[in-house]
Amino acid sequence: EDQVTQSPEALRLQEGESSSLNCSYTVSGLRGLFWYRQDPGKGPEFLFTLYSAGEEKEKERLKATLTKKESFLHITAPKPEDSATYLCAASGGSYIPTFGRGTSLIVHP
């Protein structure tokens, strides 16, 4: 059974304080590792898809990396508007993603 575990559950940062969110996955034959951002009362917003170990993608202050067992979402010099829940998902042979429980990020000004 595919499993995705995210840590920490919650993270509080000061504005400008860089950090990383972790996503550990167990799937048979990775077909995609996905990162989403979810704001309160809204649907998940797509950020990145990674397909193979060593792959990296960047968007503004966010950078996603992938190894054979985990993915990291690095947040550089975060701003209060980066506050959200970040969801990770991984898909295996069925191509249907399994989601983790998310990391709730709060960035204080």
> How does 1-33 read in b/e, with b if 16+ C-beta sit within 10 Å?
ebebebeeeebebeeeeeeebebbbebeebeeb
CB of 43 to another protein, least distance (A): 4
Site string for another protein, 6-45 (x = CB under 8 A): -------------------------xx-x-x-x--xxxxx
Question: Under the criterion CB under 8 A, does residue 109 sit at the interface with another protein?
Answer: no
- Select 25 or 34, whichever has its Cβ closest to another protein: 34
Q: CA geometry: angle at 90 spanning 86 and 91, to 5°?
A: 145
CB of 98 to another protein, least distance (A): 8
Q: Is 53 exposed, middle or buried (0-12, 13-18, 19+ CB in 10 A)?
A: middle
Q: Which residues bind another protein (CB under 8 A)?
A: 31-32, 34, 36, 38, 41-46, 49, 51, 85, 87, 89, 91, 94-99, 101-102
